[in-house]
Each structure stands twice: as C-alpha cells, then as structure tokens.
C-alpha cells in the first residue's frame, strides 16, 4: 500500500496534524511513501531538516520524494541559480527523478520544477520519452504510477494557470505507454479524475490523482489537510486499484476516510495500449 502526501510546506506545518499523520502511518501496512513536492515553505535548511525527521518518523520502508517549486530557494538568488536543489539533496538524496520498482508496483518521479520558473512547472520532451520507456518495460500486473508536482489535469477553471506545461503531450504519451495513475499536488485541491472520461481518444483507462496539503496551515478551497492511500496487489483481482482520500478531522484529532474510488485498470499490452 502507498501513502501519497503532498505540499506539507514545513515551516507552516500544524504540529497536531503532523502527529495525526504519524499515527495513521503507524496503523496501516504501507510499503511506500510518495511525497510529491513542496516539502518546505522557503527551502530553508531548518525546514528540510524538519521534513526529513518527519519522514523518518513515519517508518515507511521505502520512499519516493520529488521537489516542488517551494523547494528551490526564492530569495537566495545565488543558490537558486547555481545550486537550486542543494538543500533538497542534502536531506533527500541526489536523485531528482527517483524510481521505485517492485514486482507489483512501478512508480516514476518526474522533476517538473525549474529554477527559472517561480510557480509554474514544465515537463520536457526528453522527460516524457524517458518516462514512457520505463512504463513500456513494466510487468504485466504492475501498478504503474507517474509522479509530478504540478497537476496534469484540473477540475476548476481557477486552477488552469497551474497546469503542468507540456501536460497534453505527457498524458497522451504516458497513456500509450501504459500508465495507470498520474499523481500530483501543488494546487492543494484533492481529487481523483478519470482522464479517459474527460479526454477524447485516450487509449487506456488512466486517472489523475491529486493530493491536498498534508500538514500545512496553507489550506485552500475549504478543504482540510488531506492525504491519499493507494491499495493494490489484490490476489483475486490483479488489475484492481483503490484510491482512498483521508482528511484531517478537527473533531476527533485524526485522519478519517473521506472518499474512496475503486478502479479497474486496463490490461497491459505490448504496445502500451489496449
């Protein structure tokens, strides 16, 4: 099972929500933590240290972490220009596009931040092709995830300015290559969207899965703090996947199940389509 969190913005974290999320992590059999960016508020060393300590306390055996736009220094221009990911790398390792590959799961991280962009993200043709190649090599029953920071799809007009640049080509290419879910954050609006119902001629079933802000006070859209649980590897239904949204509830001081989407993935084919 995967715990997908995003946008904790350490430096603005709510301590009681941090503790509640740690409790959730300790009561579920997670195999992998996915953190889809905006780990910190201002990319300060003290914020990265706090984030790393939090991730360690979750006690999840494996992790896939990517940087968000807030994880590049904004005001320290010398560092932003010449060593934009140096503080991130000291806490979470030098690999900016990590991959997690097990017999049941393939998760591919994509660096969508750019030092020359403040908020917007982009994905290059080379990145799209690299991800597609990995997807095409996936095993028949592997759940195939791609992880970006900025969203590839939004459900509200106000969020359109935050769409990942290059998202249309990415969606088309990754669908053909066999992706099941594209995970993201950035807009602090949690949702699951069936892209095959929204985009014409998509060759397979594929979903956009957005996480809210996990523990930050920077809550938007009348949402609470929110994380996703992704269940897979069902013995009797290898193509089944369930995405649960868990929201922090002030009344009980805990994360509670808010929504669940049960998916039937498309079968894998040699050409990545159906």
What CATH number has the domain bearing residue 59? 3.60.21.10
Other CB atoms within 10 A of residue 227 CB: 24
pLDDT attached to residue 28: 94
Cα–Cα nearest to 261, from 238, 235, 232: 232
Is residue 71, in this structure, part of any structural domain at all?
A: yes
Is residue 272, in this structure, part of any structural domain at all?
A: no
pLDDT attached to residue 59: 96
Is residue 170, in this structure, part of any structural domain at all?
A: yes
pLDDT attached to residue 269: 56
pTM of the entire structure? 0.94
Is residue 273, in this structure, part of any structural domain at all?
A: no
Is residue 271, in this structure, part of any structural domain at all?
A: no
Is residue 274, in this structure, part of any structural domain at all?
A: no
| Residue 175 · residue 144 · CB < 8 Å | no
Number of domains in the chain: 1
Is residue 96, in this structure, part of any structural domain at all?
A: yes
Domain extent at residue 240: 2-264
Q: Which own/partner pairs from 171-174 qualify as long-range (CB within 8 Å, at least 24 positions apart)?
A: 171/195, 171/199, 171/202, 171/206, 172/202, 173/128, 173/129, 173/131, 173/132, 174/128, 174/131, 174/132, 174/135, 174/146, 174/206
Walk across the sheet containing 32-36 and list its strands. Answer: 62-66, 32-36, 2-5, 226-231, 240-249, 254-264
Is residue 192, in this structure, part of any structural domain at all?
A: yes
CA 37 from chain center: how many Å?
Answer: 7
pLDDT attached to residue 110: 98
| Residue 75 · residue 36 · CB < 8 Å | no
User: Longest Cα pair distance anywhere in the chain, in angstroms?
Assistant: 55
Alpha-carbon distances of 266 from 8, 24, 46, 151, rounded to whole Å: 32, 30, 44, 22
pLDDT attached to residue 272: 40
Which regions of the chain are under pLDDT 70? 82, 118, 269-274
């Amino acid at each position: 099972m995967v715990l997908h969190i995003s946008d904790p913005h350490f430096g603005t974290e709510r301590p009681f929500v941090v503790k509640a999320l740690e409790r959730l992590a300790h009561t579920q059999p997670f195999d992998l933590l996915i953190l889809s960016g905006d780990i910190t508020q201002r990319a300060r060393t003290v914020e990265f240290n706090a984030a790393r300590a939090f991730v360690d306390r979750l006690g999840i055996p494996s992790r896939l972490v990517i940087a968000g736009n807030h994880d590049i220094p904004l005001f320290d221009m010398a560092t932003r220009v010449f060593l934009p990911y140096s503080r991130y790398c000291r806490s979470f390792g030098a690999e900016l596009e990590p991959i997690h590959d097990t017999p049941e799961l393939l998760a591919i991280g994509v660096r969508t931040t750019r030092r020359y962009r403040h908020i917007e993200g982009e994905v290059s043709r080379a990145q799209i092709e690299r991800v597609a190649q990995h997807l095409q090599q996936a095993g028949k029953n592997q759940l195939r995830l791609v992880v970006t920071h900025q969203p590839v799809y939004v459900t509200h007009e106000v969020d359109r300015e935050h769409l990942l640049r290059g998202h249309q080509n990415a969606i088309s290419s990754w669908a053909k290559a066999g992706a099941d879910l594209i995970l993201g954050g950035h807009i602090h609006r949690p949702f699951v969207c069936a892209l095959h119902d929204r985009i014409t001629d998509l060759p397979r079933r594929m979903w956009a899965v957005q996480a809210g802000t996990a523990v930050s006070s920077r809550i938007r859209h009348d949402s609470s703090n929110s994380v996703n649980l992704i269940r897979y590897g069902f013995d009797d239904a290898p193509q089944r996947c369930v995405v649960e949204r868990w929201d922090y509830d002030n009344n009980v001081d805990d994360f509670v199940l808010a929504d669940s989407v049960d998916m039937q993935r498309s079968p894998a084919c040699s050409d990545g389509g159906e």
